[in-house]
Amino acid sequence: MRRIFKKTRNNLRQIRHTRVRSRVKGNDQCPRLSIFRGLREMNLQLIDDATGKTLCSIDTSQIKPGEAGERKGKVAKSYLAGLELAKKAKDLKIESIVFDRGGYKYHGRVSAAADGVRAGGLKF
């Protein structure tokens, strides 16, 4: 673990992310679902770590508003992005994935995206 001189939120998140990534590995049968949460948008990617290639990805800017249950705003867009990513993964014949939360807390947009992927039919 490297030493932190400036303990900002992002530096602490990057250390948590490194710790998670040391344990989570994806392959072509069970790729890694990587999440990046920005202030405006959220990116979801399915990555094969063996070859280092992204199998499919989606950004919440590509999502049109739709039915997301009681969710509203950015949380609803994250849920719909998870559903859309699961649909793309089904087209690639992917059934199960490994979840990489990227050092973020598992609540809000991150959990909504995970719920959307589960609702789309993928198994964690």
Q: Is residue 3 part of a domain?
A: no
Residue 63 lies in a domain: yes
- Cβ atoms 65, 76 nearer than 8 A: yes
Q: Are strands 42-48 and 32-37 parallel, antiparallel or unpaired?
A: antiparallel
* High-pLDDT (> 70) share of the chain, %: 97
Q: Give bridge partners of residue 120 from the DSSP assignment.
A: none
- Give residues with Cβ within 8 angstroms of 68, minimum separation 6: 75, 76, 77, 79, 80
The reported pLDDT for the residue numbered 2 is 64
| Residue linked to tokens 């790729």 | 31
Q: Is residue 124 part of a domain?
A: no
Range of the domain at 16: 9-119
Token reading at 103: 């050092």
Residue 62: CB partners within 8 Å, gap ≥ 6? Answer: 81, 84
Q: How many domains does the chain have?
A: 1
Please report whether residue 74 resides in a domain. yes
Measured CA to CA in angstroms, residue 118 lies from 6, 10, 13, 77, 121 at distances of 37, 28, 25, 15, 5
Q: What is the CATH number of the domain that holds 28?
A: 3.30.420.100
Query: pLDDT value at position 88?
Result: 95
What is d(CA 85, CA 91) in angstroms, rounded to the nearest whole number? 10
Q: Which residue has the tokens 């089904």?
A: 90
In a domain, 39, yes or no: yes
Between 71 and 23, the more confident residue is 71
pTM recorded for the entire structure: 0.84
pLDDT in tens, 71-102: 899 999 999 999 999 999 999 999 999 998 88
pLDDT in tens, 29-64: 789 999 999 999 999 999 998 888 999 999 999 888
